[in-house]
Amino acid sequence: MPNATTEGYMVLRPDSRGLYAAREQIRSVVRRLCIPPDEADCLLIAVGEAISNAYRHGTPDPTTNVIRLSWRHDMGNLRITVKDSGSGFHAKQPSCASERLGSLGLGIGLMRACTDNVHLSSNNGARVVLHKRVKLLPEQ
């Protein structure tokens, strides 16, 4: 039921199986919420970027570090959080187009383009919170 509260949490290993499982889980959430395909695709890009950044930059020791993924939907508001165990990062607003094309800046730019709000924090690892107001399709 799209209007009911939906929430979940998973801990994943920073390997291809863990990343795949995380993407599939969010894809499943998006399907259950009946989010229109164009919004769903964009949201999956944003989540994929956040997970990929956590994998590349936030798991210095893949044998012991994990990535935490959580989601909550309530009344058309979807929040997805990705947290890693890395050293964090310094998120600054890029001042020119060339800075926006850097590896971290491009990913954050995509996240911002595909969601309504992106909150970045860096304390005991990096934390990315994606907020999206979703227009739900009627259940079929």
* Contact status, residue 105 vs residue 48, Cβ threshold 8 Å: no
**Coil, strand, or helix at residue 117?**
strand
Give the Cα separation of 22 and 38 in Å (integer).
20
Q: pTM of the predicted model, to two decimals?
A: 0.83
- Model confidence at 95, pLDDT cuts 50, 70, 90, reads very low
Out of 3.40.640.10, 3.40.190.150, 3.30.565.10, 3.30.360.10, the CATH code matching 6-133 is 3.30.565.10
- Model confidence at 62, pLDDT cuts 50, 70, 90, reads confident
Say which range, 6-10, 67-71, 93-97, 125-129, has the weakest mean pLDDT. Answer: 93-97
Domain ranges of the chain: 6-133
Tens digit of each residue's pLDDT (9 = 90 or more) over 77-90? 999 999 998 877 66
Percent of the chain with pLDDT over 90: 54
Mean pLDDT over each residue of the chain, to the nearest integer: 85
CB atoms within 10 A of CB 8: 13
Element housing 99 (H / E): helix 97-100
Please compute the mean of the pLDDT values over residues 6-35 and round it to a whole number: 92
